[in-house]
Structure 1
Amino acid sequence: MTPESELYSTATAVFLSEVTKLVICIYMAVRSQVIETGYWKASELYDQVFTPDAWKLMIPAALYTIQNNLQYIAVSTLDAATFQVTYQLKILTTAICSVLMLKTSLSPIKWFSLVILTCGVALVQLKIGGNNSSHQDVKNESQTLEKETFDDNGAKKLVGLCAVTVACIISGLAGVYFEKVLKGSQTSIWIRNLQLSFFSLFPALILGVWWKDGSQVWEKGFFFGYNFIVFSAIACQAIGGIIVALVVKYADNILKGFATSISIILSFIASVYLFNFPITVTFLIGSTLVLIATYMYSKPDKPDSQKKEYHPIDQEEDNIGQDYSVNEKLDTNNGFVKVSGKD
C-alpha cells in the first residue's frame, strides 16, 4: 500500500479529468462543424458555446461539485459498508427526479425492479467497499489523534448520513437536469459537454485544487505522485463522463443506473481473474438481484385491457347452450341492424 505522504492529490486528478474532457469535446465539436459545413471558424464555435442558454450548464456543474464534496465528508465520517449501502439510494432518487422533472411514467413493476436493483448493487458494493482500505486509513488516522467518545461517533455518523443522503438527492437532480437540457434543445451533445466541462473547471480548481489540497499542491507540486496508472485513471474518468452523457442523451438516467450496475459486476468478475479476488456469497446474491432487476425493468409493460366496444353493425351474439338463435342483417338504407329471433 502506498504511504499517504506519497499519494497524488485527488483534486488535481479531478481537475485534469475535466480538462481532458474539455479537450476531447472541443475536438469533436470542431470535427462535427467541419463535416457539416466543410470548414471551421473559431468565432462560430465560440458563438455555439457561449449562447444565452449556456448558463443552464452552470447548475449541474455546481451540483456535481457539491456532490463530490459531500461524498468526501461522508467517506470521512462513515464506515465503508454504511457509505456503500446508503449511496445506492441515488438509483431511487434518480427515478423520483425523472418522474417529477421529466414526467416519466413508471409502472409498479418497474419501481419494484429499481428497489431490487438498489439492494443488489448495495450487496455487490458492500464487498468491493470492504476491500477498499482508503476509508480505513482515514478512520485510523483520526483515531490516533484522539479517542472518540460514543457521542462523538454518533454525531459524526449523523453528519455522514446527512451528507450521503443529500449527495444522493443531488446526484439524481443533477443527472436528470442535465438530461433535460440535452433533450430539450437541438444543440450538439459535444457543445453541451463542452459547456459542462468548462463551467466545471472553476469549482474543481477553486474548491478542489486551491481550497481542499492547496497546501499539498503548493508544497509538493501539482503532479506529485503521478504515474501511468494515475494518468490512465484520469483518461478513463474523462471518457466515462462523455459516455455517460451519450447514454443520457439517447436513453435516460434510469437506464444509465442499470448499465453502471452491470459494469460494476463485470469489473469485479474481471478482478477475480486478474487479481484473484475471492467470490463471496454476498457478491453472488447481489449480482443475481441486479440481473433479476434488469430483466424485470426491460420487460414491456402490459397494456391496459381494452374494453370491448359494441356497435350495432359489428355486434355478434354467440350464446351457446341457449334455445334461440339470432340472425343479424344490415339495413343499408338506415344503417341499423335488424334482429330476428326464433324461440
Structure 2
Amino acid sequence: MHISLPGVLLISLTLYRSTASNLLHLAGVQSHYSYSVAVLIGEFAKIAICFAVAVRQFDKTHLSGSNNRLQRYRRAGQRVWSETFTAQAWELLVPASLYVAQNNLCLYAAERLMPSIYQSIWQIRLLPTALLTGIFLKKYPSAQRWFCLWGIALGVIVIESAAISAKEGMKKSATITQNANADIVFGSLALLSASFCSAMSVVVLERIFKNGKSNFWVTNLQLSVFSLVPAYTLVLLDCWRAASIFAPFHAFFSGYWPWIAIVVQTGSGILAGLVTKYADGITNSISGVISIALTAFVDQILRSQDMTRASRITIMIGIGSVVACTYLYSVFPARGSPQMPHQPRKSSISLPRFHLSSTQKSGDRIRSAID
C-alpha cells in the first residue's frame, strides 16, 4: 500500500501537535525550568540539524562528482556557512528576536493553560497577522476570511470566560481559585503577546524577502544563528535575577522534563516547516483542527474534575467555533486571487518558526507562516 509524503506528514504532524501541547504543559508543571535556557538550547539543536541537512543537500546537488567525501563535506560546509552570513542575513536579527520572545512566552503560557485552551487561543494569531499585513503591506483578507477571523476571536473569548468561571465554580479555597484564575489570565496574555510577536515577524520577513528566493534549511539556519544573541541575553537576565550563574540551569540536571520540552520545541518547528514545504494548506489546516479536537477530548477525560459540567460544555462550544473558523479560513480564497489554490501554511505549539522554500516566492512563503 502506497502512502504519499503529504499523508505521512499529515498523520505525523497531527499526532505531534496533539501530544506536544500536553507534554509542554506537563514539563512546566513537573519541573519549573528556565524558559530562556530551554529556548537557547533549542536554538543550538536547530543550528546543528539545519546545518547538517543543508550541507548534505549541497553535497548531493553540487559536489557529487568528487570521490573524496571528507573534502566534499568540507567544501559544502564552507559554502553553507558563507550563505548564512550574507549582507542581507543580518537583517534577520529583528525577526529572530521576535521569535525568541514568542518562544519564551509560549512556554510560559503552556505551563499555565490547559492544552486544549492553549491550542485554541493560539489560533487567534491569525487576526493580528491579518491586521498588520494589511496596515504595512496593503494585503487585506477577503470578507469571508475576516468573518472567520472574528469567529476565532469570539471562540477564544467564550473559552476564556468559561475557563475562569469554571475555576470560580469549583469548591476550592479562595487562594487556590485566585491562583488558578491568575494562571489563566497571565497565560492568555502571554499567548496573545506571542501572537503579536508572530504577526510582526511575518511582516518583517516579508519585507526582507520581498522578491528573493532562499533555501529552506539555510534560512532556518540563519534564523537560529541570529536567535542566539537575544536568547543568550535572556539567559543572562535570568542569571542576574537569580543572583547565580548556575541557578537557571539547575532544573536541566535534575530531571528529564526540561529536555522533553526542548525536544518538543525543536521538533515542532522543523516538522511544521516540512509540512509547509511538501503539503498544501488544506492538509496543514486539517492537521491543526484535528489536533485541537483530539487535545480537547483528552482534556475532557483527564481534567474534567477541574471544572463544572456547564463550563465543559461552554469550552467545547468555543473550541468548536475556533476549529470550524480555522478550517474555513484556509478554504476561503484571499482577496484578489480567488482562482489560486490556498498556499501552504505553518502551524505549531511552541512558538512557530518561519520556514522558506526554495521554490516559493516570498509573499507565499510569508503567508504560509501565519497558520
Note whether the superposition's TM-score is higher than 0.5: yes
Shift in alpha-carbon separation, 1:10–1:194, aligned structure 2, 3 A: same
Q: Structure 1, residues 256-305: CA drift from partner, whole Å, max 9, x if none? A: 888656533332324445x364681123202321233135324445999x
Which of 174, 182, 204 is the aligned partner of 2:231? 204
Are 2:267 and 1:235 aligned? no
Shift in alpha-carbon separation, 1:267–1:65, aligned structure 2, 3 A: same
Contact map agreement 1:91 1:114 (CA 8 A) in 2: yes
Give the Cα separation in 1 of the matches to 2:230 and 2:201: 15
Are 2:322 and 1:290 aligned? yes
One-letter amino acid of the counterpart of residue 238, structure 2:
K
Shift in alpha-carbon separation, 1:14–1:243, aligned structure 2, 3 A: same
Q: Which residue of 2 aligns with 1:29?
A: 54
Shift in alpha-carbon separation, 1:5–1:259, aligned structure 2, 3 A: closer
Q: Which residue of 2 aligns with 1:19?
A: 44
Q: Which residue of 2 aligns with 1:60?
A: 95
Q: Which residue of 2 aligns with 1:269?
A: 297
TM-score normalised according to structure 2 size: 0.58
Give the Cα separation in 2 of the matches to 1:89 and 1:303: 20
TM-score normalised according to structure 1 size: 0.62
Give the Cα separation in 1 of the matches to 2:304 and 2:155: 19
- Ranges in structure 1 where 5+ consecutive residues have no aligned partner: 144-156, 305-343
Shift in alpha-carbon separation, 1:270–1:244, aligned structure 2, 3 A: same
Report the alpha carbon displacement of residue 115 of structure 1 after superposing the two structures with TM: 1.1
Report the alpha carbon displacement of residue 206 of structure 1 after superposing the two structures with TM: 1.6
Q: Structure 1, residues 57-116: CA drift from partner, whole Å, max 9, x if none? A: 1110122344567779999xx999xx9798765321111223345554422111001111
Report the alpha carbon displacement of residue 242 of structure 1 after superposing the two structures with TM: 2.5
Percent same amino acid among aligned pairs? Answer: 30
Alignment of 1:127-146 (within 5 A): none
Which of 130, 134, 153 is the aligned partner of 1:118? 153
Contact map agreement 1:123 1:286 (CA 8 A) in 2: yes
Report the alpha carbon displacement of residue 36 of structure 1 after superposing the two structures with TM: 0.9
SS of equivalent to 2:141: coil
Give the Cα separation in 2 of the matches to 1:3 and 1:59: 28
One-letter amino acid of the counterpart of residue 34, structure 2:
S
Shift in alpha-carbon separation, 1:235–1:164, aligned structure 2, 3 A: closer
Between 1:102-111 and 1:62-71, the stretch displaced more is: 62-71
Q: Structure 1, residues 135-168: CA drift from partner, whole Å, max 9, x if none? A: x99x86xx9xxxxxxxxxxxxx9x9999877654
Give the Cα separation in 1 of the matches to 2:282 and 2:207: 13
Give the Cα separation in 1 of the matches to 2:189 and 2:151: 23
Q: Which residue of 1 aligns with 2:16?
A: none
Shift in alpha-carbon separation, 1:160–1:190, aligned structure 2, 3 A: closer
Contact map agreement 1:124 1:283 (CA 8 A) in 2: yes
Larger Rg: 1
Q: Structure 1, residues 229-258: CA drift from partner, whole Å, max 9, x if none? A: 321221110121224445566799999888
Report the alpha carbon displacement of residue 187 of structure 1 after superposing the two structures with TM: 1.6
One-letter amino acid of the counterpart of residue 134, structure 2:
V
Give the Cα separation in 2 of the matches to 1:287 and 1:32: 41
- Ranges in structure 2 where 5+ consecutive residues have no aligned partner: 1-25, 65-71, 168-174, 337-371
Alignment of 1:32-43 (within 5 A): 32-37=57-62, 38=64, 39-40=72-73, 41=75, 42-43=77-78
SS of equivalent to 1:224: helix
Between 1:247-256 and 1:195-204, the stretch displaced more is: 247-256
Contact map agreement 1:88 1:122 (CA 8 A) in 2: no
One-letter amino acid of the counterpart of residue 212, structure 2:
S
